[in-house]
């Protein structure tokens, strides 16, 4: 597309947030100014960085004159706004103000998008401004553009990903080194992978926000955080990892968005985040440390995987700047903004409608007839057992036997009823754990 004769020679860029990602974004805008000018066709002029404390020490220090606490003034004079503040407010209000003025916005704010995405999309559409958010999911990994553009002519059936580096690091240490959860979390905190308060990560909330965004892009319909079933990793034990390893699996916290059908046959989407057993040979099983990966299944393209750093200042800033350059090129060269418009009405289904396999670990009495009674409960609720392994209990406080069962694919609702009935059997001491299985 040719550049307009009246195209601007410089674009004013307002940066909201001077934290880890914001500092690296400022660095790229400053140090790579000549490269960016060549790619865009105009200078990208960083006009200011809105922060809470102008005197704070930062990962990369910009010109002190750029720091300000007046975010509203920065937004008012910008051609492009980059929002990296995080949280809901004042980020939501500032983004809406920019979009209402026709100013395009780049954000990495997954929580805001997962809760108020439709409001922001509508505001952008009303004025023709562009709202871009590649950095909101999986750091540097380009996943939203491929889902939206490269697979735009295909029918995505499932997106399954390791979308949180903190939990992947913890689970990797538990699997490879036999560490317990607390020790692995402490190491993640020492290395800077986990926050002092890791709740959003280890309870699955961070991954759930990303699942809602991925589903929205993949299926072309609006989804929100409250439609994602969430379970974190705090209950995963060394015994769970040992049982998984013995059966040929590894445990990963997965964000899953997939097409499915309700009991009445109606099509919809199931969104869930939970610890999951993956076969060792599955591509996602080899993702180590704090890395992320997203596995996509589409009717025509087949299986695709996107892998890379899922967090960190420079990698995430790379995703931010990809959106900035794309928006800036459209401003300079002309052409409409690229807007996200829902094209389907695919409702979110009750997570109890999800179909998957399960590993169920029971502690039961070691006596004749126990296996028959346990198997009868599974049969009664329509859940088929694929494999069963019995090993002596190693716990002095729980004598008897440990039963490890892996089911064929079953509906979550039926498995829940099965587990409830198992717990009521007088020969079952405890339902020790229930983990989903994917990738078989």
CATH code for the domain of 103:
3.40.50.720
Q: Residues 244, 383: one domain?
A: no
Q: Residues 200, 132: one domain?
A: no
Q: Residues 390, 267: one domain?
A: no
Q: Which residues contact 439 (CB under 8 A, 6 or more apart)?
A: 278, 279, 282, 284, 285
| Gap between the Cα atoms of 255 and 252, Å rounded | 10
Q: Residues 159, 215: one domain?
A: yes
Q: Residues 70, 157: one domain?
A: no
Tell me whether residue 252 is one of the annotated catalytic residues: no
Q: Residues 114, 150: one domain?
A: no
Q: Residues 194, 265: one domain?
A: yes
Quote the pLDDT of residue 275: 97
Strand extents, DSSP E, 330-394: 355-364, 385-392
Domain boundary residue, one of 333, 365, 395: 333
| Gap between the Cα atoms of 200 and 188, Å rounded | 14
Q: Residues 29, 173: one domain?
A: no
Taking the CA of residue 75 as centre, how many other CA atoms within 13 Å lie in the half-sphere pointing to its CB? Answer: 24
Q: How many domains does the chain contain in total?
A: 3
The residue from 27, 116, 173, 210 that is catalytic is 210
Burial group, residue 245, by CB count within 10 angstroms (0-12, 13-18, 19+): middle
User: With contact defined as beta carbons under 8 Å apart, do 410 and 397 qualify?
Assistant: no
At 279, phi and psi to the nearest 5?
-60, 145
Three-state DSSP at 2 gives: coil
Write the CATH number for 230.
Answer: 3.30.360.10
**Chain-centre distance for alpha carbon 419:** 28
Q: Which residues contact 205 (CB under 8 A, 6 or more apart)?
A: 199, 225, 230, 232
pLDDT (tens place) for every residue of the chain, 440 residues total: 455 557 789 999 999 999 999 999 999 999 999 999 999 999 999 999 999 999 998 989 999 999 999 999 999 999 999 999 999 999 999 999 999 999 999 999 999 999 999 999 999 999 999 999 999 998 889 999 999 999 989 999 999 999 999 999 999 999 999 999 999 999 999 988 888 899 999 999 999 999 999 999 999 999 999 999 999 999 999 889 988 999 999 999 999 999 999 888 889 999 999 999 999 999 999 999 989 999 999 999 999 999 998 878 899 999 999 999 999 999 998 877 666 656 677 999 999 999 999 999 999 998 889 999 999 999 999 999 999 998 876 665 656 788 999 999 999 999 999 999 999 999 999 999 999 999 87
Q: Residues 256, 164: one domain?
A: yes
- In a domain, residue 380? The reply is yes
Binding-site residue numbers for L-homoserine are 195
Supply 421's token pair: 């009935």
- In a domain, residue 305? The reply is yes
- In a domain, residue 212? The reply is yes
Per-residue burial over 264-302, b if 16 or more Cβ lie within 10 Å, else e, is: eeeebbbbbbbbbbbeeebebbebeebbbbbbbebeeee
Per-residue burial over 394-428, b if 16 or more Cβ lie within 10 Å, else e, is: eeeeeebbbbbbbbeebbbbbbebbbebbeebebb
pTM of the predicted protein model: 0.91
- In a domain, residue 345? The reply is no
Q: Residues 172, 286: one domain?
A: yes
- In a domain, residue 343? The reply is no
| Gap between the Cα atoms of 350 and 77, Å rounded | 45
- In a domain, residue 349? The reply is no
Write the CATH number for 389.
Answer: 3.30.70.260
Q: Which domain holds residue 411?
A: 354-437
Binding-site residue numbers are 16-23, 110, 195
Binding-site residue numbers for NADP(+) are 16-23
What distances in angstroms separate CA 240 from CA 203, 304, 403, 417, 432, one per listed residue?
Answer: 17, 29, 13, 22, 9
Q: Which residue has the tokens 């983004």?
A: 95
| Gap between the Cα atoms of 113 and 110, Å rounded | 5
Burial group, residue 366, by CB count within 10 angstroms (0-12, 13-18, 19+): middle
Quote the pLDDT of residue 1: 44
Q: Residues 241, 94: one domain?
A: no
Quote the pLDDT of residue 343: 67
Sign of CA dihedral 27, 32, 34, 35: negative
Quote the pLDDT of residue 393: 66
Domain boundary residue, one of 333, 368, 391: 333
Q: Residues 28, 177: one domain?
A: no
Peptide bond into 90 cis (omega under 30): yes
Binding-site residue numbers for NADPH are 110
What distances in angstroms separate CA 196 from CA 75, 173, 189, 356, one per listed residue?
Answer: 32, 19, 7, 34
């Amino acid at each position: 597309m040719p550049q307009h004769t009246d195209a601007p020679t410089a674009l004013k860029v307002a940066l909201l947030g001077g934290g880890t990602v914001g500092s690296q974004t400022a660095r790229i805008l400053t140090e790579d100014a000549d490269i960016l000018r060549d790619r865009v066709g105009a200078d990208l002029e960083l006009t200011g960085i809105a922060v809470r404390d102008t005197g704070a020490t930062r990962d990369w220090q910009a010109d002190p004159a750029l720091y300000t606490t007046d975010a509203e003034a920065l937004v008012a004079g910008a051609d492009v706004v980059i929002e990296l503040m995080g949280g809901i407010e004042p980020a939501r209000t500032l983004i809406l103000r920019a979009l209402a003025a026709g100013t395009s916005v780049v954000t990495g704010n997954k929580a805001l998008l997962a809760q108020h995405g439709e409001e922001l999309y509508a505001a952008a559409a009303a004025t023709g401004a562009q709202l871009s958010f590649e950095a909101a999911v999986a750091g540097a990994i380009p996943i939203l553009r491929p889902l939206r553009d490269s697979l735009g002519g295909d029918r995505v059936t499932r997106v399954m990903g390791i979308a949180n580096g903190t939990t992947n690091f913890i689970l990797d240490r538990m699997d490879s080194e036999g560490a317990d959860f607390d020790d692995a979390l402490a190491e993640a905190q020492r290395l800077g992978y986990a926050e002092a308060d890791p709740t959003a990560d280890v309870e699955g909330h961070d991954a759930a926000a990303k699942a809602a965004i991925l589903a929205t892009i993949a299926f072309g319909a609006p989804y929100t955080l409250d439609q994602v079933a969430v379970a974190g990793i705090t209950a995963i034990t060394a015994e769970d990892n040992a049982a998984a390893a013995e059966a040929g699996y590894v445990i990963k916290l997965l964000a899953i968005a997939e097409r499915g059908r309700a009991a009445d046959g109606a099509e919809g989407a199931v969104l869930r985040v939970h610890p999951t057993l993956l076969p060792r040979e599955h591509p996602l099983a080899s993702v180590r440390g704090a890395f992320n990966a997203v596995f996509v299944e589409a009717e025509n393209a087949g299986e695709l995987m996107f892998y890379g750093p899922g967090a960190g200042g420079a990698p995430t800033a790379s995703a931010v700047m990809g959106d900035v350059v794309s928006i800036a090129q459209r401003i300079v060269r002309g052409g409409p903004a690229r807007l996200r418009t829902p094209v389907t009405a695919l409702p979110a289904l009750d997570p109890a409608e999800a179909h998957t396999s399960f590993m169920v670990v029971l502690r039961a009495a070691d006596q004749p007839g126990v296996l028959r009674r346990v198997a009868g409960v599974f049969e009664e609720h329509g859940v088929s057992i694929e494999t069963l392994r019995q090993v002596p209990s190693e716990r002095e406080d729980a004598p008897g036997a440990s039963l490890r069962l892996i089911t064929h694919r079953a509906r979550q609702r039926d498995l829940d009823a099965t587990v409830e009935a198992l717990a009521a059997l007088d020969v079952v001491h405890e339902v020790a754990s229930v983990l989903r299985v994917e990738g078989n």
